[in-house]
Amino acid sequence: MTARDDSYPVADIEARYPFDVLDLPRYPEPEMLARAQQFYADMDGRRSVRAFSDEPVDRELIELAIMAAATAPSGAHHQPWRFVVTGDPTVKHEIRLAAEEEERINYLDHRMNSEWQRSLAPLGTDHHKGFLDTAPWIVVLFEERYAVADDGSKQHHYYVKESVGIAAGMFITALHLMGLATLTHTPTPMAFLSRILDRPANERPFVLFPIGYPAAGCRVPRLQRKSLTDVMTVVEHPNADPTAPTQAPEHDAR
């Protein structure tokens, strides 16, 4: 029943590098289904928040979300990410002013073309970013484009955007599951974040996350998420027995 593949790692490799036995929990199938359903329900309740309360949030929660995100897989395990955290009102304000300046050009001076702006219209976004002052924390996730060794030489990273994107998703998930809200914010171009946060040349801003509790009565756009059939394609050998794919009911994003 259990598939075995004894060829990994080959003896020669194991003689040279350390390996551990994987200790992954195995749940009874009904429990797996219940866990999967609960996780989907939890994640379906995640929303991007653009109106925050100024209620303080313990820094330990932010640190734990970063630790969770930093468990993400990465190309060659180079972990090419840096989470830069600030709760300093002066720094947050400087970020707000610089973000609003870039977004003013995006929205009002039409650096975003009209097609883009039409897509954004139902979200009600504009160049005002007051939430960057209000949210108790801002975390800017930087992608590390390459590492710098002690002798100053550059070490190449692999699949940086893919790796950092996965870490970003895990960060958002961790925050949501602990009851915090965030926004995936990209006030592009984001070079001002390197300047304000004093980051080195090998790091590039990837996403800015304001983090906190939603403001009282916080409202979010009514969005529809794609159904399972819209996002999943099953490929089978033409002669295989056709088995009906599961079809999830359509649902409203909350």
Site residues, ligand FMN (CB under 6 A): 47-48, 50, 123, 125, 183-187, 220, 223, 253
3-state DSSP: the chain helix, strand, coil percent, rounded to 5?
40, 15, 45
CB nearer ligand FMN, residue 76 or residue 123: 123
CB of residue 99 vs ligand FMN: minimum separation in angstroms?
9
Spatial CB neighbours of 17, under 8 Å, sequence gap ≥ 6: 9
Q: Which residue's Cβ lies closest to ligand FMN?
A: 48
CB of residue 252 vs ligand FMN: minimum separation in angstroms?
11
CB nearer ligand FMN, residue 187 or residue 212: 187
CB nearer ligand FMN, residue 53 or residue 186: 186
**Number of Cβ within a 10 Å radius of residue 22:** 5
Task: Please answer whether residues 212 and 61 qualify as being in contact, where contact means their C-beta atoms are separated by less than 8 angstroms.
Answer: no
With left for phi above 0 and alpha for psi between -120 and 50, is residue 193 left, alpha or beta? Answer: alpha
Spatial CB neighbours of 61, under 8 Å, sequence gap ≥ 6: 178, 180
CB nearer ligand FMN, residue 96 or residue 185: 185
CB of residue 67 vs ligand FMN: minimum separation in angstroms?
22
The whole-angstrom separation of Cα 80 and Cα 203 is 9
CB of residue 206 vs ligand FMN: minimum separation in angstroms?
9
CB nearer ligand FMN, residue 157 or residue 185: 185
Distances (CA, A) of 196 to 176, 199, 200: 27, 8, 11
Radius of gyration (Cα) for the chain, nearest Å?
22
CB nearer ligand FMN, residue 62 or residue 168: 168
CB of residue 223 vs ligand FMN: minimum separation in angstroms?
6
Helical segments of the chain, H only: 11-16, 29-44, 59-69, 89-107, 114-120, 131-134, 160-177, 191-196, 228-231
CB of residue 184 vs ligand FMN: minimum separation in angstroms?
4
